[in-house]
Chain A
């Protein structure tokens, strides 16, 4: 049952997210090259996850992950989380990227 729900949520996730997004703002580009944020994005680009899932995979403090996610949301690299109330009455926020692929487009000067 759990796998079935996970599969249907994954299908929705794949369907609703744009395939690619161009980034030309240097501030956003610099965020993309931050090591920890990159690690988070690499996971969220494939599948939506909550902070506790990310904690298990990245072995990072959940508070640190939360702050990285807030930064990524501020730069529109991560979307507003999907909120689910699970069968135990606990609210869960699932995070995902705003695109399946980010293309960096920079012109200088």
Chain B
């Protein structure tokens, strides 16, 4: 095999090692991640789920206060808390991979929460700012009335794919700042180190995170596209049985989707992302780009 081919093989191999190793460490520290993510899920569900709207819609309860304002305030507080919890997962991963004992404890979650709370908020804002661009694209496509259902389906799928690809690149650019923050202790140094690592090892970081996204994000996207396609095709092709099926479960479906997505993201994707990112950071820091089994 020539040198270029061998290097390509090495990136694929590295990406596989990242996922395998992170999965092993995730399993051995499952209880801690479970505890930490249950706290996140409870906060997320309590603060970001529109309870009032559900109660109003299904039980006809009338609230005297301004629900929109309350939801906005709750969303803001919830968003900040979730950002800190997200960052603290990277702190836990850092403990596991760089602490020396390959394990962490739940109190570490609160320790990182207290120590880096405002840095995590800033970094998370930077991380999600990339999604604003895709919302803008969505707005451009859907600025006028569209009659053709199949055209809507085509547009939706295209936008979802563009959104996911942009999200992947944006997250890849920023992500190494999180493990670097725990290591460097300063947001300025972490950002500087992140871009330095990215400049020198862009292919390594891109390939490892691409594998992560294929497994943990794009798989979910395929389900989203399938669901959307079925709904639109059911209208277009007059699949009455499918429309009846969807309508009869109109309450349960969104709830199941919300629960499944929440559990998948919080319990699996976030801890794995933190572990994979920390593993990439550590291997790049030790200059070990050729891991051998």
Contacts and interface: CB of A to CB of B under 8 A. Distances in A.
Contacts of B291: 87-88
Interface string A62-97: 110010000000000000010101011111110000
B207 interface: no
Nearest to A90: B97
Interface residues of B, number: 19
A51 B282 CA distance: 20
A60 B101 CA distance: 14
B285 interface: yes
A59 to B, nearest CB: 14
Nearest to B279: A89
Interface residues of A, number: 17
Contacts of A55: 103
Contact of A89 (B28, B102, B282): B282
Interface in B169-199: none
Contact of B103 (A62, A83, A88): A62
Nearest to B101: A51
A51 B99 CA distance: 11
Given A88-B17, A90-B282, A81 B288 contact: no
Nearest to B106: A63
A50 B102 contact: yes
B103 A92 contact: no
A91 B285 CA distance: 12
Contacts of B99: 91
A93 B100 contact: yes
A52 interface: yes
Given A52-B28, A85-B286, A91 B103 contact: no
Contact of B97 (A83, A87, A89, A93): A89
A78 to B, nearest CB: 13
B103 A51 contact: yes
Interface in B3-48: 17, 21, 28
Contacts of A85: 286
Given A51-B103, A93-B100, 7 more contacts: A52-B101, A52-B103, A63-B103, A85-B286, A89-B283, A90-B102, A90-B279
